[in-house]
């Protein structure tokens, strides 16, 4: 089980929101036409080792229908994988999100962003104060 996945110098993991750019070939009367189509969603699982590694991306489509796609990591059809936002999860597989609505999934990501902004704010406060200023003045 890999906690992080690397695709062409882009690193992502389970819980991240990603945009996968995939090359689609359409055949028609005028010949083959190649276009890039992207699929944006949340990485809910990774599996496999080496060349056999793949990851699962889930998004909510029209009429609140969940759409999942499994992308092989070594596929030449995947142009690039962009990380839209990082997520912090405590599970290797997020299959429990299948039963939740889009709003509940958004709440999970909001909790992470609120926690992260609070952590950054506390670090800024700690840097701004000097240890001498924190001491109590002695009264005589």
- pLDDT by residue for the chain (140 residues), tens only, comes to 457 778 888 888 888 889 999 999 988 888 788 999 999 999 999 998 888 999 999 988 888 888 999 999 888 999 999 988 888 788 888 888 888 877 787 777 666 666 667 777 777 777 766 555 555 666 65
How confident is the model over 10-19, as pLDDT tens digits? 888 888 889 9
DSSP 3-state helix, strand, coil percentages of the chain (rounded to 5)? 25, 40, 30
The predicted model scores a pTM of 0.72
- Domains in the chain, ordered, with CATH? 4-128 (2.30.30)
The tally of CA atoms less than 13 A away on the side-chain side of residue 40 is 5
Rounded to an integer, what distance in angstroms lies between the CA atom of residue 84 and that of residue 79? 16
């Amino acid at each position: 089980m890999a906690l992080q996945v690397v695709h062409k110098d882009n690193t992502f993991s389970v819980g991240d929101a990603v945009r996968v750019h995939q090359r689609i070939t359409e055949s028609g009367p005028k010949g083959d036409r190649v276009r890039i189509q992207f699929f944006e969603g949340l990485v809910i699982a990774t599996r496999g080792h080496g060349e056999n590694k793949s990851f699962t991306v889930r998004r909510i489509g029209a009429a609140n229908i969940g759409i999942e796609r499994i992308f092989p990591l070594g596929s030449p059809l995947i142009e690039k994988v962009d990380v839209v936002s990082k997520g912090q999860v405590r599970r290797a597989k997020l299959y429990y999100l299948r039963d939740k609505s889009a709003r509940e999934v958004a709440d999970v990501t909001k909790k992470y962003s609120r926690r992260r902004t609070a952590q950054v704010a506390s670090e800024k406060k700690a840097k701004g104060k000097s240890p001498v200023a924190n001491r109590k003045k002695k009264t005589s």
